């Protein structure tokens, strides 16, 4: 998943980082409140519109989901075992038929299927929202946004450094993987979970040492530049100002949040909305 900043000069990029924080929290909160897959799919469409407004390709949405796809599939499958369908649920069939004198197994109900899809959509919205925040906000702007919200300068610097280090970490892991493969490392070749984890030690240990070395160099660079001296009167190269477009953006986000809460309190966000629509066909 690509998380590094992609400057395009769009209206989304020009917004104050606090507005983008607010938008991210709004999307996250709404997708937690909403349970209906059709409504959550609408949020994904909204994210697609925001992506195009940011002059970014729509394939970035898929790039945000691709690394977490195995987890999303696992969540979808496990939900059939863990979710307790309500009384009167519509039986669709069995996940696998009777074979070799065993089965059929795992009954599938419409309510379970719809709820599982909604759960996958919910996590997808959160992942893509986090991606949009990071690709549309420079690490320095993100740090300054936290400071403007009242966080200490050290906290803002830590957040900025952590976010900007993510692509560096991925490149380091890729480099270590290629180096170890050149030495004959073949990765996990066993089904034993403990042995599979142990087989990745040749990758994890060099990556950990390189990360610690990078952190020490960064700390030395910060100290040599006087970071930490008189933080209360610290100035910034680029100061953030709340302009007209930021006010409009904040009002739009607040309005969307109000609509989300209104729909929730009206009882229209439960997954039974989609279930009833399907049953009515």
Considering the entire predicted model, what is its pTM? 0.73
Enumerate the domain spans of the chain.
Answer: 1-137+243-281, 164-240
Residue where the block lists tokens 């830590």: 158
Exposure class string for 67-91: b at 16+ Cβ within 10 A, else e: ebeeebeebeeebbeeeebeeebee
The tokens for 126 are 């959160």
pLDDT in tens, the chain (281 residues): 445 788 888 999 999 989 998 999 999 999 888 989 999 999 999 999 999 999 999 988 888 888 778 888 888 888 877 777 767 777 777 776 665 556 566 777 888 888 889 999 999 998 899 889 889 988 778 878 877 887 777 777 777 777 667 667 777 777 888 888 888 877 656 666 677 677 778 888 888 888 888 888 888 887 787 776 666 676 666 667 788 999 999 999 999 999 999 988 988 888 778 888 887 77
Residue where the block lists tokens 């959160």: 126
Would you tell me the crossing angle of helices 110-136 and 272-279 to the nearest 10 degrees? 130
The tokens for 138 are 């420079």
| Residues 128 and 62: beta-carbon distance below 8 Å | no
| Residues 155 and 142: beta-carbon distance below 8 Å | no
């Amino acid at each position: 998943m690509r998380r590094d900043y992609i400057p395009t000069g769009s209206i989304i990029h020009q917004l104050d980082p606090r507005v983008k924080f607010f938008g991210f929290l709004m999307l996250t909160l709404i997708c937690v409140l909403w349970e209906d897959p059709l409504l959550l799919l609408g949020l994904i469409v909204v994210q697609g519109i925001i992506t195009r407004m940011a002059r970014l390709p729509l394939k970035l949405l898929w790039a945000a989901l691709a690394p977490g796809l195995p987890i999303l599939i696992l969540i979808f499958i496990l939900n059939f075992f863990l979710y307790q369908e309500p009384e009167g649920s519509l039986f669709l069939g069995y996940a696998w038929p009777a074979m070799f004198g065993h089965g059929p197994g795992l009954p599938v109900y419409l309510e379970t299927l719809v709820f599982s899809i909604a759960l996958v959509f919910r996590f997808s919205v959160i992942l893509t929202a986090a991606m949009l925040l990071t690709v549309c906000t420079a690490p320095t702007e993100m740090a300054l946004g936290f400071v403007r919200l009242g966080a200490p300068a050290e906290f803002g610097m830590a957040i900025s450094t952590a976010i900007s280090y993510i692509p560096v970490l991925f490149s380091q892991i890729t480099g270590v993987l290629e180096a170890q493969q050149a030495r004959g490392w073949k990765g996990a070749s066993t089904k034993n979970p403990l042995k599979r984890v142990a087989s990745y030690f040749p990758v994890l240990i060099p990556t950990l040492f390189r990360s610690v070395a990078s952190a020490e160099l960064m700390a030395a660079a910060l100290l040599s530049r006087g970071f930490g001296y008189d933080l209360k009167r610290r100035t910034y190269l680029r100061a953030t100002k709340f302009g007209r477009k930021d006010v409009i953006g904040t009002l739009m986000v607040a309005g969307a949040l109000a609509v989300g809460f209104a729909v929730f309190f009206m009882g229209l966000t439960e997954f039974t909305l989609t279930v009833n629509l399907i049953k009515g066909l």
